[in-house]
Amino acid sequence: MIPLSWYLIFAAALFAIGIFGVLARKNAIAILMGIELMLNSVNINLVAFWRYITPERITGQVFAIMVFAVAAAEVAVGLALIISIYRRRKTIVAEDIDMLKF
Amino acid sequence: MTPAQIIFLITAIVTLGSALMVVTTRNMVHAALWLILSLLGVSVTFVLLEAGFLAVVQVVIYIGAIAILMIFAIMLTRGISEKEGPQINRNWPWALLISLAIFAGLAWMLSSWSGLSTQIIPLDSRVDTISQLGQALVSPNHYLIPFEVASVMLLAALIGAVIIAWDGK
């Protein structure tokens, strides 16, 4: 069978790639994509721990569903913000959106 | 190696490779398509973990809703996003350093954890995990309140997204 460590290392690698995307990309939509990758790696961890450690309780899967709901809400609001900024400022480059900076 | 291990390794390589393409490719539409492949790989991982309902939900919500929403946003902001210059900012070596440090830290922490060698036990065939999950989500003794809060949050996000993206005319 597949050892638990394989899933955890896989999820850690996916999380690291997502963090690189969030920190390095210029485009705000690409930053949201990085956040999606990170949320997915968290879900893999939750389901792997459910399956290996506590298969008799369904908590891990319930948490994963909560993460799905939060991800859907976050993407809807985030993309609405990006479209609104694009309409007013004609840019979606994250470092050009600096209205709050003195 | 068992067939499950081979499937897992192929899935992991495809998922991580397409995730790397998501964060490095210049063309945003291509990045969204690579993101879909990566999400599909995660869904296969859920199947390997015997969480069939979550695998279906992953395809329906992530690929069917979130990735399509992203493609729509990319098309609405097209032209501005890939016109000039590199798609990664000038601090990318620091970002690489931080992500490698986080990966190394997680791997080190995992290697020293005692529960890592937990053996998988077969699921009780008398218990249906999908009905167990459904019962847990609507039972007052389990997760009814988080479930209701999540539905209110989705409604708030729906209204908020409409109001934010409204152009006022």
How far away is chain B from the Cα of A42, in angstroms, using its nearest Cα? 11
- Token pair for B32: 């969204």
How far away is chain A from the Cα of B88, in angstroms, using its nearest Cα? 4
CB A15 within 8 A of CB B102: yes
- Token pair for B11: 């899935």
Least confident of A66-75, B55-64, B82-91, B157-166: B82-91
A55 closest CB neighbour out of B62, B103, B123: B123
Smallest CA-to-CA distance from A2 within A66, A52, A56, A76 is with: A52
Q: Where are the alpha helices (DSSP H) in chain B?
A: 3-24, 28-48, 52-57, 68-76, 92-111, 129-138, 144-165
B152 and chain A in contact, CB less than 8 A: no
Q: Where are the alpha helices (DSSP H) in A1-102?
A: 4-24, 28-52, 59-89
CB A58 within 8 A of CB B136: yes
Smallest CA-to-CA distance from B31 within B71, B89, B60 is with: B71
- Per residue in B30-86, pLDDT (tens digit) is 889 999 999 999 999 999 988 889 999 999 999 998 999 999 888 888 765 555 666
Nearest CA in chain B to A14: B16
Architecture of domain B1-78: Up-down Bundle (1.20)
pLDDT at B120: 75
Question: Where along chain A do its domains lie?
Answer: 4-89
CB B73 within 8 A of CB A79: yes
Can you tell me the ipTM of this complex?
Answer: 0.90
pLDDT(A63) > 80: yes
Q: CA B139, B140, B143: angle at the middle one, nearest 5?
A: 70
**Are residues A25 and B98, on separate chains, in Cβ contact within 8 Å?**
no
- Per residue in B131-152, pLDDT (tens digit) is 888 888 888 888 899 999 999 9
Q: CA A79, A82, A88: angle at the middle one, nearest 5?
A: 145
Q: Among the CATH numbers 1.10.287.3510, 3.30.750.80, 3.90.320.10, 3.30.70.3270, which is that of A4-89? A: 1.10.287.3510
